[in-house]
Amino acid sequence: MATALTHLDSFGQSIEREAVGLRFGLVVSKWNSEITEALYQGCFKTLVGAGARVEDITRVSVPGSFELIYACNYLASTKKFDAIIAIGSVIQGETKHFDFVCEAVAQGIKDINLKNEAPVIFCVLTDNTWEQSKARSGGKHGNKGVEAAAAAIEMTYLKKSI
């Protein structure tokens, strides 16, 4: 949804639907916690601002972005949530580990979406530098968590309308 020319927070301001009565699962990676916590806060505040009750938002923490796959799949299998948001941050290092983790997480989240009813939103930053991650987690480009919350609400209504 976002591009270099679009401020991520603008998606939170354009939410056309309310989150009243909806249940959300937020799965948050502890790796790069300064980034993921900021993404979580942006997401949480946007959901509550759209009418979601605090008690209808469940947070689950996992060690790293790779573990988002298991936790999101487990939450989806419970059928207790209208939408799930995977929140992570992978920053390019000196090895191919970045490529493997990014590919696995993207494919894993895609697979969960294809086999479960609750949409799983991809709120995983895959940046080249710490500075890029900071810019997209509440910095000059806004907060990807806001965009993810807006997408979760929209996808929930799409599911209900079909």
Please give the positions annotated as active site.
97
In whole angstroms, what is the distance from residue 99 CA to residue 96 CA?
Answer: 5
The amino acid present at 8, given as its one-letter code, is L
In whole angstroms, what is the distance from residue 122 CA to residue 131 CA?
Answer: 20
The amino acid present at 89, given as its one-letter code, is S
Task: Specify the residue for token string 């959300």.
Answer: 24
Show the beta-strand stretches assigned E in the chain: 24-29, 57-62, 83-91, 120-127, 137-139, 142-143
